[in-house]
Structure 1
Amino acid sequence: MATVTDTSVPFASGGTWVRLTRPDAPLDGALPLVVLHGGPGFAHDYLRSLADLADLTGRTVVHYDQYGCGRSTHSPEAPAGFWTPQLFVDEYTAVVFELELGDHHLLGQSWGGMLGAEIAVRRPAGLASLAICNSPAAMPLWSEAADALRAQLPGEIRDALERHEADGTYDDPEYIAAAHEYDRRHVVRLPEMPQDYVDSVAQMEADPTVYHTMNGPNEFHVIGSLRDWTVVDRLDRIAVPTLVLAGEFDEAQPIVWRPFVERIPDVREAVVPDASHCTHLEKPEEFLGIIAGFLAENDRS
Structure 2
Amino acid sequence: MKRRSFLSLGAMTAAATLRPRVASATTKDIRLPSPDTVHVGGSRRIEIGGGHWVWTKKVGSGSTKVLLLHGGPGADHRYFEGFEDFLPPNGIEFYYYDQLDSTNSEKTNDPSLWTIERYTDEVEAVRQGLGLDQFYLLGHSWGGLLAIEYALKYQQHLKGLVISNMAASSEAFVKHVSKIRSQFPESVRAELEHYENANKTDDPAYQKLLFEKLYKVFICRLDPWPDPVQRSLDGWNQHVYNVLQGRSEFEASGRMKGWDRWADLPKIKVRTLTMGARYDEMDPEDMRKMATLVAHGQSWISETGSHFAMYDDQQNYFRALLTFLQG
**Same-fold call, TM cutoff 0.5:** yes
For 2:286 and 2:258, the matched residues in 1 are separated by 13
SS at match of 1:222: coil
Say whether residues 1:282 and 2:312 are aligned partners: yes
1:139-218 aligned within 5 A: 139-180=170-211, 181-204=213-236, 207-218=237-248
Between the aligned partners of 1:273 and 1:184, the Cα distance in structure 2 is 16
Higher-RCO chain (CA-CA 8 Å, sequence separation at least 6): 1
| Structure 1 unmatched runs, 5+ | none
Asked if 1 retains the 8 angstrom alpha-carbon contact of 2:292 and 2:298, the reply is no
**Aligned counterparts of 1:74 and 1:236: Cα–Cα separation in 2:** 36
Of stretches 274-283 and 250-259 in structure 1, the one that deviates more from structure 2 is 250-259
Tell me the number of residue pairs that the alignment of Structure 1 and Structure 2 aligns: 286
Cα contact 2:277–2:284 (8 A) shared by 1: no
TM-score under structure 2 length normalisation: 0.83
- Bigger helix share: 2
Overall identity of the aligned pairs, in %: 26
CA contact (8 A) 2:155 2:268 kept: no
* 1:59 correspondence with 2:96: no
Residue 10 (structure 1) aligns with: 47
Residue identity matched to 1:5? G
Greater mean deviation of Cα atoms: 218-227 or 173-182? 218-227
TM-score of the superposed pair, with normalisation by structure 1? 0.90
Which residue does the alignment assign to 2:6? none
Verify the 8 A CA contact 2:288 2:299 in the aligned structure 1. Answer: no
| Structure 2 CA distance for partners of 1:276 and 1:74, relative to 1, 3 Å | same
> Which runs of no fewer than 5 residues in structure 2 stay unpaired?
1-39
- SS of the equivalent of 1:165 reads helix
Q: CA deviation at 1:72?
A: 0.5
Q: Is the 8 A contact 2:266 2:294 kept in 1?
A: yes
- Provide the aligned C-alpha RMSD in A: 1.6
1:271 is the counterpart of 2:304? no
Give the AA of the match of 1:51: E
- What is aligned with 1:243? 273
Contact 2:287 2:299 in 1 (8 A): no
- State the partner residue of 1:110: 141
Is the 2:60–2:92 Cα contact (8 Å) retained in structure 1? Answer: yes
Q: 1:173 and 1:210, CA in 2 relative to 1: closer, same or farther beyond 3 A?
A: closer
d(CA) in 2 for partners of 1:215 and 1:255? 22
Alpha-carbon displacement from aligned partner over 1:241-289 (angstroms, at most 9, x marks no partner): 1001101111111354354123211111111111010010112211111
Deviation track 1:98-155 (CA, whole Å, cap 9, x = no partner) reads 1112221111111111111111112433200001110010001111111100011122
Please list the CA deviations of residues 2-24 of structure 1 after superposition, one character each: whole Å capped at 9, or x if unmatched: x941111012432110010024x
Please say if 1:95 is aligned against 2:126.
Answer: yes
- Opposite residue 51 of structure 2, the aligned amino acid is S
What is the identity, as a one-letter code, of the residue corresponding to 1:138?
S
Residues in 1 aligned to 2:157 and 2:200: alpha-carbon distance in whole angstroms: 46
